Structure 1
Amino acid sequence: MTTTKAQQADPGTRPVLSVSNLTTSFLVDGEWRQVVRNISFDIMPGETVAIVGESGSGKSVTSLSIMRLLAKASSRIEGTVKLNGRDILPLSEGEMRDVRGKDIAMIFQEPMTSLNPIFTIGRQISEALTCHGDISKAESRAETIRLLEKVRIPNASSRFDEYPHQFSGGMRQRVMIAMALASRPKLLIADEPTTALDVTIQGQILDLIKVLQEEEGMSVLFITHDMGVVAEISDRTIVMYRGEAVETGKTDDIFHRGRHPYTRALLSAVPKLGSMKEQPRPLRFPIVDIGTGERKEPTALADAIDYAKPPVLEVKNLVTRFDLRGGLFARPTGAIHAVENVSFNLAQGETLSLVGESGCGKSTTGRSIMRLVNPKSGDVHLDGYDVMKLNTGDLRRMRRSIQMIFQDPFASLNPRMTIGSTVAEPFIEHRLGSRSQAREKAVDLLERVGLNADMMSRYPHEFSGGQRQRICIARALALDPKVIVADESVSALDVSIKAQVCNLLMDLQQNLNLSFLFISHDMAVVERVSHRVAVMYLGEIVEIGPRASVFENPQHSYTKKLMAAVPVPDPARRGIKRNLSVDELKSPVRPVGYKPPVRQYREVSSGHLVRIDAA
């Protein structure tokens, strides 16, 4: 394990950042309400400190308070924030502008909203250089290209004049890091910089921050809710809960000797890759009561899957492509091969997980099966329906057998409808009974997903993210489906809420004999909830088989890459670099007339198939 500069420093070393009794309040309905209370911590030269907690705990407000980026009219910051011994809270806005970027820089969670879409990448990084120094245009271009190379962007000089939309999510985040590093700040604040990224891109960004920290001698304040990321990158950890720091200490102590019930609850909810060895069936997550610290041990699903019975869903040679058109007459210029020759079965009561990075075709596969997008060819048989041959009326009836839970629950709920009406609507629309029966059904479903009947008159904005996802699950169950497509349904949730929702899905599967097509890029969650796993890359399944076979004996190089990138919640791994390739995911766009190669698969063990790639 590497030793940080903070650990090597003598006891008299002055902190780069010293925060004392930081309290932040917001003006709400004419009253000042405290959202962060009496936070104190120091960050030493070369040290990484992580602030961890769930949404609403006050992590991001703490970082924005340090940077003085909150609106003056509606916020109030008290306490002291000393940067290199200088209190920056009393500084004027002009003085603070000199501090930002030069002495302290910040990387935000969503790079696309942080980059200006109308300016080139090169111009935006160059601006960060010219604002804080007397530098010529030629010098700023050379330095910008050096920074792009430093953050491992391939062909940096040729990409100088490209725009943000021409970069992938991971590459945009690298651009944000390059911009933050432009003036060589002593402190880098990284606010959830990997949350929205695929697991392999996340691994690359974590590696990059470690390398740059060593090269530049920066201190890092890393804000996240991912305990695996915390374990891999931080020297010390601050655990926040409802605006307060409930526990602070060395990361190793927090993970192995955490005292606060909330700390233990967060750690219990973290799925650890490899923890399912010798577990033949999906395993629920352990849950710790935050008030008492009492731990409820996980249990496995009781029933084995009977694969001798006919499958509830059969997909054979499914192909979905989206035409690209251009020119004066909008002629076809190519096609996005989103799903290419995908085949699998789903048994009654089984969870089959589709995993892979963004753009690999997972979600399009789920939507194609439901005919939310129209496939180009293939066969889909669901609960007695030949899905590809259904007319509009039959398609509507078929969808009673298959429902979808979407990734963003807020976007998939009508903000003008109460949740009672939302859950009852499918029952009424399909004319399965009277309005009073629909209400009774909605009450039963809300109670099944852990919500109360007296919440039926509330609106979506009155619920937390986890509760909204429970509402979406209740709505999906309204038609008594046999198959549920869970499309990244837990990806946006905090770690403890994610554990609760996964447990809920497994309980419903046990009680209602549901089948799940579980679409995700979170390999550790997939290992816990799945019976079988299919790995997708560029629209094709490259490996499929029983969960134990795929995770304990991965064969395809892409499967191995996905697993190697998963952050492991073990502080002993801090300082380890994965040395992942920084290549972007290849494009699924193909020219007109392109014929994909015929794929061959080899059987590694019973039901475990791996695509044979050309040497």
Structure 2
Amino acid sequence: MQADLVASAGQKAAGTDPILRVENLKTTFRTGPGWTQIVKGISFEIGAQETLAVVGESGSGKSVTALSIMRLLDPEFSRIEGSVSLSGRELLTLPEAEMRKVRGRQIGMIFQEALTSLNPLATVGKQIAETLYIHGRMNGAAADAEAVRLLERVRIPAARNRANDLPHNLSGGMRQRVMIAMALACKPQLLIADEPTTALDVTIQAQILQLIKELQREEGMGVLFITHDMGVVAEIADRTVVMYGGELLEQGPTERIFDNAQNTYTKTLIAAVPRLGTMDGNGQPQHFPVIDKATGALRPPTQRRDTVDHGHEPVLSVRNLVKRFDLSSGLFGGVHGRVHAVENVSFDLHAGETLSLVGESGCGKSTTGRAIMRLVEPQSGEVHLAGTDIMALDKRRVRDMRRHIQMIFQDPFASLNPRIRVGEAIAEPYLTHKLGNRAQARAKVADLLVRVGLDPAVASRYPQQFSGGQRQRICIARALSLEPKVIVADESVSGLDVSIKAQVVNLLLDLQESLGLSYLFISHDMAVVERMSHRVAVMYLGEIVEMGPAASVFANPQHPYTKRLIAAVPVPDPARRNEVRKVANDEIKSPIRAADFVPPTRVYRTVASDHIVQDWEGDWKV
């Protein structure tokens, strides 16, 4: 099979030599007394101006493949075999001194975590200039001027001033642009982009993808794009390589992979991609198709019954919620400004309903969820849970109240104590609230693990012994241990691989159907929100700018910001890959205001049944 895959690689024009040729690449790591093979003999090629996507879930060997090509693995603890040739030059046998000249000059690399990849003590302009100096391109004032030019080229506004900023003073999208500028500084033949958009908001992701495509056309370079998101693959890749467990399962033109995938795993990845506009005829969410572990076949989408009864009082009612954070000058300095994180937010959530709060990072979504649970204390507003005024409760009664409203956090590993077995973690809230004895708690844990699709026997394991998706299921089980009425899910699927995300979303929908749960679903992923939600509230700079039934908001968005979010969602259609999309390059504005700032009175108008939008004037970003 491997020989067939090698033979089919590329499908390039006759006589065109590839920039990069990888043949039978094997990477092995030292594990204790022995060795474990991570990459198991993969082969592919990349031509000039061609983008090859290497796609697969976490642990499939994608990033190790890239690090092997760059020879960035510690030779004491790793072995790389096979062949990696760049324009006909074998890289695996190059002396290290020669390989250092290849890195950065002929092969540029963008890493997933821009903040950890940049020196926190050096300005971004100096770091780009250092790349030029190390590779002998230029130095001194010329290198500084070229660094500014590169920042301008990657669409960073006020580049001359931004060149003097430290990395932490830039947003995530801007830091990623700095990484791209650094990777392109020496005009490499090949650009390796390792999950460059995974942690970014959907609008920033769209900007980065568009930027990479534009720069590729200008420079004529090949791109090796590593991702787990098939939606991004369709957006950017000419050809696709699918990896699983270190092996190459399938490769070919992206159109053929999407239209006629041969491998079941590939079909699963494609089927799991959330797509906008795929609701059923009644405007109700459907499950994501996922693989059936017993049969190996895809489980088709199943329609969820509408369980929302708007004839009764809401289970959660929020009115005029305000949360601001003071900014002071030093220990004894006065307040010179405030972060208006949540500003006059109001909504209702009914039994069995999912209301999604959507928007980019910094819009106030998570702070809203935390303020409702009083994990942060709001300045003003009313929050009623099943008729109880949460804001009027003392600390003891607030803890009792949290039995009825639980939170699932974004990072499941950080949410679990690594020293406590998962069974104890799930049972802890049950025992703390004195809902039963230890024997009853053990039975409860076993039942909850079954509910979330795990074997009760795993209760004796520790969090680090589970995958990310399994850890999130454990966090869901813990939240369910108190039988809450409301669950606040704060970006609970955003960090997961696309197929694991599909499984967790399906699980949340199943639990809502069987237990009548209400979800406040916080996310920036518009495609997932469409599948999960009955209603959607769009937040910008701490305010709700549009809210209504999911079907109405997605079919007929009114506010410019809502339209921007929807337009930025990757289109999982390879046929549209070469389209030039109009993507706004501006970042979300700062919610910091002067200490004496008084928010303007907002006016909302009704555009359809239960669908409201905030009026805006001229520049709505003010």
The TM-score, its normalising length taken from structure 1, stands at: 0.98
Return 285-294 or 551-560, whichever deviates more.
285-294
Superposed CA RMSD in Å reads 1.3
Which of 342, 355, 360 is 1:339 aligned to? 342
The answer to whether the Cα contact below 8 Å between 1:265 and 1:293 also exists between their aligned partners in 2 is no
Question: Which of 486, 494, 506 in structure 2 is aligned with 1:491?
Answer: 494
**Structure 1 residue 132 and structure 2 residue 154: aligned?**
no
Q: Report the residue type matching 1:39 in the other structure.
A: I
Of 158, 166, 171, the residue aligned with 1:168 is: 171
1:27 partnered with 2:30: yes
Deviations 1:332-366 (A, max 9, x none): 11110000000000000000000000000000000
Correspondence 1:553 to 2:556: yes
Shift of 1:327: 4.7
Aligned counterparts of 1:8 and 1:490: Cα–Cα separation in 2: 37
Alignment counterpart, residue 356 of structure 1, candidates 359, 367, 376:
359
CA distances 1:427-458 after superposition (whole Å, capped 9, x unpaired):
10111111111111111111110111111110
Distance 1:177 1:145 in 2: 13
- Asked if the contact 2:364/2:540 (under 8 Å) is kept, the reply is yes
Q: CA distance change for structure 1 residues 86 and 156 in 2, over 3 Å: closer, same or farther?
A: same
Q: Which amino acid aligns with 2:76?
A: A
User: Is 1:308–2:311 an aligned residue pair?
Assistant: yes
> Secondary structure at the residue paired with 1:175?
helix
Task: Please tell me the residue identity of whatever aligns with 1:141.
Answer: D
Aligned to 1:152: 155
Alignment of 1:181-260 (within 5 A): 181-260=184-263
Deviation at 1:278, TM superposition (A): 2.4
User: Residue 413 of structure 2: SS of its match in structure 1?
Assistant: coil
* Aligned residue runs from structure 1 range 448-463, under 5 A: 448-463=451-466
Deviation of the 1:160 alpha carbon: 1.4
* Aligned partner (choices 57, 80, 83) of residue 80 of structure 1: 83
Match of 1:294 in 2: 297
1:318 matched to which residue of 2?
Answer: 321
Deviation at 1:247, TM superposition (A): 0.3
Which secondary structure state, in structure 2, belongs to the residue aligned with residue 410 of structure 1?
Answer: helix
Shift of 1:397: 1.0
Structure 2 CA distance, aligned partners of 1:416 and 1:280?
Answer: 45
Shift of 1:44: 0.8
Aligned residue for 2:415, secondary structure, equals coil
State the match for 2:450 in structure 1. Answer: 447
Q: Which residue of 44, 47, 51 maps to 1:48?
A: 51
Letter of the aligned partner of 1:234 in structure 2?
A: A
Residues 149-179 of structure 1: per-residue CA shift (max 9 Å, x gap): 1000001111111110111000000000000
One-letter code aligned to 2:527: A
Q: Report 1:263-412 matches (<5 A).
A: 263-276=266-279, 278-289=281-292, 292-327=295-330, 329-412=332-415
- How many percent identity over aligned positions? 64
Range with greater deviation from structure 2 (572-581 or 254-263) = 572-581
Paired residue type of 1:469: Q
* Alpha-carbon contact 1:531-1:547 (below 8 Å) kept: yes
Deviates more, 1:350-359 or 1:325-334: 325-334
Task: State how far apart, in whole Å, the 1-side matches of 2:154 and 2:491 are.
Answer: 29
Counterpart of 1:273, as a letter, is L
Pair 324,32 (structure 1): closer, same or farther in 2 beyond 3 Å: same
Cα deviations across residues 275-296 of structure 1 (Å, max 9, x unaligned)? 1152432211112347855221
Q: What is the SS of the residue equivalent to 1:375?
A: coil
Query: What corresponds to 1:481 in structure 2?
Result: 484
- Note the C-alpha offset of 1:8: 11
Give, in angstroms, the shift of residue 330 of structure 1: 2.1
Greater shift after overlay, 174-183 or 134-143?
134-143
1:329 deviation in Å?
2.2
In the TM superposition, what is the alpha-carbon distance from 1:393 to its structure 2 partner? 1.2
Query: Aligned partners of 1:290 and 1:234: how far apart in 2?
Result: 29
Whether 2:600 is the aligned partner of 1:597: answer yes
Are the equivalent residues in 2 in contact too, given 1:261–1:292 (CA < 8 A)? no
Q: Matched residue of 1:411: which SS?
A: helix
Contact 2:340 2:592 in 1 (8 A): yes
1:274 Cα deviation from its structure 2 partner: 1.1
Indicate conservation of the 8 Å contact 2:403/2:484, yes or no. Answer: yes
* Structure 2: unaligned runs, 5 residues or longer: 1-8
CA distance, structure 1, for counterparts of residue 272 and residue 556 of structure 2? 25
CA distance in 2, matches of 1:88, 1:609: 59
8 Å contact kept, 1:262–1:290: no
Displacement of 1:603 in angstroms is 0.2
Paired position in structure 1 for 2:4: none
Deviation at 1:543, TM superposition (A): 0.4
The answer to which of 323-332 and 399-408 deviates more is 323-332
1:39 and 2:56 matched: no
User: Does the CA contact (< 8 Å) of 1:283 and 1:300 recur in 2?
Assistant: yes
Q: What's the offset of the Cα at 1:598? A: 0.3
2:107 corresponds, among 104, 108, 113, to: 104
* Matched position secondary structure for 1:562: helix
Are the aligned partners of 2:235 and 2:574 in contact in 1 as well (CA < 8 Å)?
yes
Measure, in 1, the Cα distance between the counterparts of 2:519 and 2:371. Answer: 15
Residue 5 of structure 2 corresponds to none
Q: Secondary structure at the match of 1:559?
A: helix
The equivalent position to 1:71 in structure 2, one of 69, 74, 77, is: 74
Report if aligned partners of 2:10, 2:46 keep a CA contact under 8 Å in 1.
Answer: no
- Partner SS for 2:412: coil
Per-residue deviation at 1:514?
Answer: 0.3
Alpha-carbon offset, residue 198 of structure 1: 0.2
Cα distance, 1:468 vs structure 2: 0.4
Q: CA–CA distance in 1 between the matches of 2:290 and 2:147?
A: 48
The CA distance in 1 between the partners of 2:387 and 2:116, in whole Å, is 46
For 1:10 and 1:551, the matched residues in 2 are separated by 42
1:501 aligns with 2:504: yes
**Following the alignment from structure 1 to structure 2, what is the Cα–Cα distance between the partners of residues 293 and 197?**
32
Aligned length: 610
Q: Residue 265 of structure 1 contacts residue 289 of structure 1 at CA under 8 Å; is this kept in 2?
A: no
For 1:235 and 1:357, how far apart are their aligned partners in 2?
Answer: 29
Q: Is the 8 A contact 1:268 1:288 kept in 2?
A: no
Q: Which amino acid aligns with 2:495?
A: A
Q: Which moved more, 1:228-237 or 1:284-293?
A: 284-293
Structure 2 residue aligned with 1:424: 427
Q: Is the 8 A contact 1:264 1:293 kept in 2?
A: no
In 1, distance between residues paired with 2:388 and 2:465?
39
Q: Distance in 1 between matches of 2:82 and 2:11?
A: 29
- Using the alignment, how far apart are the partners of 1:151 and 1:289 within structure 2? 43
Q: Shift in Å at residue 579 of structure 1?
A: 2.5
Does the 8 A contact of 2:56 with 2:62 survive in 1?
A: yes
2:568 is the alignment partner of 1:540: no
